[in-house]
Amino acid sequence: MTATAHLLASGPGWRASDIVCTAGPDDRAFEEAHPQHCIAIVRCGSFRYRSTQGSAVLAPGSLLLGNRGACFECGHEHAAGDRCLAFQFEPAWLEGIVAAVPGARQIGFAQAHLPALAPLASVVAEAEIAANDPERLEETALRLAGAVASILSGAKPGAATPSARDQRRITRALRHIEAHCEDALSIDELARQAAMSPYHFLRTFRAVVGMTPHQYVLRTRLHRAALLLRRTTQPVAGIAFDCGFGDLSTFNRRFKRVMGASPSEYRGQ
């Protein structure tokens, strides 16, 4: 088995698991079926997800969406390994969430994924933090399902899927950002990592990931900072500089805009 699942917490109608996959380019992708409706947060690594709702390359911060009984495959043609925090919901449980979200009308997901959108940044970070505190996972599952239902109720159809070759190239850049997000990463440098022209890289990156490279780098830095604020006693200024922010005021301003609280307030919550 290339994937192992560790149950973190469960309750009537829901469960949360930490899933680690070690598959690589030499491993064959097998068709599976979702036993329940699923929302999985990609914590690290990247992979291609293909289901009856569509196909996408998933990177850290993005959400895998699966419907109960739907067939799917996860492929690692481009790079090895990933880790996800997966929430599974029974239809009746999820139906109660959808009923409370204005504009939402169905419990199933019409698309295969959501990119690492700014409105999801706070709840995604909270979910990763809650993975170490099982008593908080039920509330996290509720917030995550509600946030996804809210976004999907007004979601626009996605653009055409880039070629497998372009997806492979963008994956190189995603891995580079994940390993070096604290560095100054220009479009030109990332385009070289992907062996693409800067203009083609910029357009293709947004089509694959759902945001610009600059936005994704910022999201990656803020997410890492959020985890350090809760998991360590390191000074805020040290975290800001270690995560790639040139000055503390810029870090404070951007963190509050995305997370809804200043770094110090966030640490104390």
Give the 3-state secondary structure of residue 75: strand
pTM for the whole thing? 0.83
Residue 73, beta-bridge partner list: 50
Locate the domains of the chain by residue range: 3-152, 164-268
Q: What is the pLDDT of residue 133?
A: 86
At what angle are helices 91-99 and 137-152 packed, to 10 degrees? Answer: 60
- What are the residues whose beta carbons fall under 8 Å from the beta carbon of 103, sequence distance 6 or more? 150, 153, 154
Length of the chain: 269
> Does 159 have pLDDT greater than 60?
no
- pLDDT tens-digit map of 31-84: 999 999 999 999 999 999 999 999 999 999 999 999 999 999 998 988 889 999
Summarised one tens digit per residue, pLDDT across range 91-144 is: 988 888 888 887 777 888 999 999 999 889 999 999 999 998 888 899 899 899
Q: Kindly report the CATH number that applies to the domain delimited by 3-152.
A: 2.60.120.280
CATH of domain 164-268: 1.10.10.60
Q: Count other Cβ atoms within 10 Å, centred on residue 41.
A: 25
Contact between 12 and 93 under an 8 Å Cβ cutoff? The reply is yes
- Distance between the two ends of the chain, CA-based, in angstroms? 39
- What CA–CA distances, in Å, run from 260 to 20, 37, 47, 92? 30, 29, 30, 31
Domain 3-152 and domain 164-268 have a common topology: no
Q: Where are the alpha helices (DSSP H) in 107-197?
A: 118-130, 137-152, 164-180, 187-193
